[in-house]
Chain A
Amino acid sequence: MTNPIELLFTKYLSNTITHAEYKQLQEVVAAFDKAELESFMESYWLEYGPDKKFKEHDFEALTAEIANQVKPVVVRSHFKIVWQAAAIILLPLLIASTSFFYIRNHQLEKYFAKQMNITVQSGERAHLTLPDGTTVRMNAASSITYPTNFGFQNREISLTGEAFFTVTKDSGHPFIVETPYLKVKALGTVFNIDSYENDDMVETTLLEGSVQILTKRDNPQATLLKPNEKAIFYKKTGKLDVERTDLRYETAWVNGELIFRSATFEEMIKVLSRFYGIDVDIVSGKIQNERYTGSFNAKNMTDALNLLQFNYPFTYTLRDNKAYIVFN
Chain B
Amino acid sequence: MHEDEQLHIEKLRNGSYQSFKFLYDLYVDSLYGYTLELTRSRLLANELVQDTFVKIWMNRSSIRPELRFKSFLFKIAKNQLIDEYRKKLRDPLFEDYLFHQGDPSVAENPVDLKVDFDDFKEHLQLAKNKLTPRQREVFELSKEKGYSAGEIATRFQITEQTVYNQLYLAVQIVQKAMRTFAKFIILFLIP
Contact = CB atoms under 8 A, between A and B. Distances in A.
Contacts of A13: 37-38, 110
Interface residues on A, range: 35 or more
A265 B101 CA distance: 76
Interface stretch (A30-38, A176-184, A311-319): A30-38
Interface residues of B, number: 47
A324 interface: no
Interface string A38-58: 100110011011101110110
B99 interface: yes
B89 A30 contact: yes
Nearest to A188: B61
Given A29-B86, A62-B24, A57 B49 contact: yes
B90 interface: yes
B89 A49 contact: no
A316 to B, nearest CB: 46
Nearest to B95: A22
The binding surface of chain B is classed by DSSP as helix
Interface in B65-83: 68, 70-71, 74, 78, 81-82
B18 to A, nearest CB: 6
A69 B53 contact: no
Nearest to A27: B89
A18 B34 contact: no
A22 B99 CA distance: 10
Contact of A66 (B37, B57, B90, B98): B57
A50 B29 contact: yes
Contact of B18 (A22, A100, A170): A100
Contact of A50 (B33, B38, B70, B78): B33
Contacts of A69: 54, 58
A228 interface: no
A262 to B, nearest CB: 41
Interface of A: 13-19, 22, 25-26, 29-30, 34, 37-38, 41-42, 45-46, 48-50, 52-54, 56-57, 59, 61-62, 65-66, 69, 93, 96-97, 100, 129, 132-133, 151-152, 168-170, 172-173
